[in-house]
Structure 1
Amino acid sequence: MTVKPDWLRVKAPQWERVGNVKEILRDLALNTVCEEASCPNIGECFNVGTATFLIMGPACTRACPYCDIDFEKKPKPLDPTEPARLAQAVRRMRLNHVVITSVNRDDLSDGGASQFVQCITAVRAVSPQTTIEVLIPDLCGNWQALEIILQAAPEVLNHNTETVPRLYRRVRPQGNYERTIELLKITRALSPSTYTKSGIMVGLGETDEEVRQVMQDLRSVDCDILTIGQYLQPSQKHLQVAEFISPDQFAAWQAYGEELGFLQVVSSPLTRSSYHAEQVRELMTRYPRSH
């Protein structure tokens, strides 16, 4: 693998705190994207007692060459106890904000929308003060399934764009750029009170102009929140890093995003789609939407 620059070095976590979070996750038999996708911020997030829960997994029905989540295992039937176990983790971890994401479940008629709803409902029952963010797949363009999720009223709906259109066939071969933009557009139309969010990876060979065009496309459908982070190669079998982007370039994209009118732009080499996600609670205070 390419040698990482100094700005991508991560501080060693306080393993006592990390161990406490891991103990809860193991006790309740839950998956996190922090672990399954080899997130570089796992130490920082576990240290402050947060995690992004990965439901309906860990096996994925798609084989995106950038992602470290397993696609070789056969997906299992949905576990009806998973929502209650997730809710108990939220309670035990005393989370103010929780992110719930999933693998792609193209084998399910609703893409797993019903399981998202069950998880949202379970969390609200045991921790009503916790704000909920769902990071969803594209549901194969099933907008009825999207509406089912939105009817459960998560505060934030996140769907990642991941890369620029030119690179979709190589980076996200089973995805569709126009479908991703359409999902965010329909979310705004169906649920004006929901904050919409998306994220992109850079360092895969895209140009500055292409990144800025994606940002414009997201604002054209009134996307509220944007995350931009450096792609890191999980293993030799994954896509190689084309370029390590400088912190100055990330700062320039953040400034441009703010000019475009995003309510929040989180842009740095180590940013991931759920990085500092709890900051949305402050955003909700500054830019309230009626629920």
Structure 2
Amino acid sequence: MKTSHPIRTGKPPWLRRKLPSGPDYEKIRSMIDKGQLHTVCQEANCPNQFECFSAHTATFLIMGATCTRNCRFCNIDGGRPGPLDPDEPRRVAGAAARMELRYVVVTSVTRDDLDDGGASHFAATIAALQEQIEGVQIEVLIPDFQGSRNALETVLAARPEVLNHNMETVRRLYDTVRPQADYDRSLELLARVPRIAPHIPAKSGIMLGLGETEAEVRQVIRDVRRTGCRMLTIGQYLQPTAEHLPVVAFIPPEDFDRWRQFALAEGFAKVAAGPFVRSSYHAGSMFRGE
């Protein structure tokens, strides 16, 4: 089983870069704080948050900052979430309008405690954005809703431009990386998108560096493509804290280029792959094909 050779002496040179900062970054951070909002950029300790905030971009995290699941790769806290804030959709839309966003990404913690998994809250947020920002384009990155077709239909009926659901890793590693998720359930969600709303492209993402083999990476890419999914992101797993899963391998940039070409050859329309690529990184540019 071929895997990339792990680097055990700290981050390699291609993962070291100067963090952008300055007035634009502080302006966006202040808007988010004052609006009592959450972003996945901050909660998940994303390495791109400085760059994205400086470029007036953020991925809004709705339904609180506490997840009902405990994925071992994710920096978002697990536990018992509080009640939904019915005013949150309006505040998200207001912040996006003040940031002068034209492409907005909305994601959430997983809310297995809610009857619809929070699907109606996603729909309300989409509606608020469409009402407050003329011509806005919206991408939603959703949890699996425990396989509920009705919940997925609720989100798709709100007419986002892109429906994203991440596979995250290969089948063999699900019990370790995503113990409360199910590989086939996530594939079925992606497969339902073109059947329910063929005009809305499905998107997914995976991480490398968790110990997967090359054969397993090829398989997950093929499995996702067979669902009809059109867009794919491939990035490097980075360990958020010492309590999370360790990095098994740092994948060099040339390997990401190779995986991008493989995914395109398998039929994906758009693929972003690289050490710093995340599911919502440069999402608007990817959607527009820039």
- Give the TM interval when normalised to the shorter protein: over 0.9
Q: Is 1:68 aligned to 2:75, yes or no? A: yes
Match of 1:110 in 2: 116
The equivalences for 1:142-291 within 5 A come to: 142-283=148-289
Match of 2:130 in 1: 124
Structure 2 Cα separation of the partners of residues 12 and 55 of structure 1 = 26
Consecutive unaligned residues of structure 1, counting only runs of 5 or more, are 287-291
Structure 1 Cα separation of the partners of residues 40 and 145 of structure 2 = 18
Match of 2:5 in 1: none
Structure 2 Cα separation of the partners of residues 257 and 96 of structure 1 = 28
206-215 vs 164-173, greater mean Cα deviation: 206-215
Answer whether contact 1:225 1:265 (CA < 8 A) is retained.
yes
Q: Is 1:35 aligned to 2:49, yes or no? A: no
Structure 2 Cα separation of the partners of residues 281 and 242 of structure 1 = 31
Helix, strand or coil at the partner of 2:232: strand
Answer whether contact 1:2 1:241 (CA < 8 A) is retained.
no
User: For each residue in 1:72-120, what CA deviation from the matched residue of structure 2 results, as whole angstroms up to 9, or x when unmatched?
Assistant: 4x20101010000000011000111000000000000100001000000
Consecutive unaligned residues of structure 2, counting only runs of 5 or more, are 1-7
The equivalences for 1:3-82 within 5 A come to: 3-72=10-79, 74-82=80-88
Helix, strand or coil at the partner of 2:284: helix
Shift of 1:188: 1.1
Shift of 1:281: 4.1
Query: What TM-score does the superposition give when structure 2 sets the normalisation length?
Result: 0.96
Shift of 1:259: 0.8
User: For each residue in 1:205-255, what CA deviation from the matched residue of structure 2 results, as whole angstroms up to 9, or x when unmatched?
Assistant: 001111111111111111111000000000110000001011111000001
Which of the numbers 84, 87, 94 marks the counterpart of 2:93? 87
Answer whether contact 1:131 1:281 (CA < 8 A) is retained.
no
Query: What TM-score does the superposition give when structure 1 sets the normalisation length?
Result: 0.95
Structure 1 Cα separation of the partners of residues 287 and 217 of structure 2 = 27
Answer whether contact 1:55 1:103 (CA < 8 A) is retained.
yes
192-201 vs 13-22, greater mean Cα deviation: 13-22
The two structures, once aligned, show a CA RMSD in angstroms of 1.1
Shift of 1:12: 1.8
Shift of 1:10: 2.7
Segments ≥4 residues shifted beyond 6 Å: none
Structure 2 Cα separation of the partners of residues 147 and 222 of structure 1 = 17
Structure 2 Cα separation of the partners of residues 282 and 81 of structure 1 = 31
Shift of 1:265: 0.5
Shift of 1:129: 1.2
Shift of 1:57: 1.4
Same amino acid, percent of matched pairs: 52
Helix, strand or coil at the partner of 2:77: coil
Structure 2 Cα separation of the partners of residues 2 and 163 of structure 1 = 24
How many aligned residue pairs are there?
283
Match of 1:289 in 2: none
Shift of 1:2: 5.4
Structure 1 Cα separation of the partners of residues 43 and 87 of structure 2 = 20
Q: Which amino acid aligns with 2:226?
A: S
Helix, strand or coil at the partner of 2:272: strand
Helix, strand or coil at the partner of 1:266: strand
Structure 1 Cα separation of the partners of residues 224 and 70 of structure 2 = 25
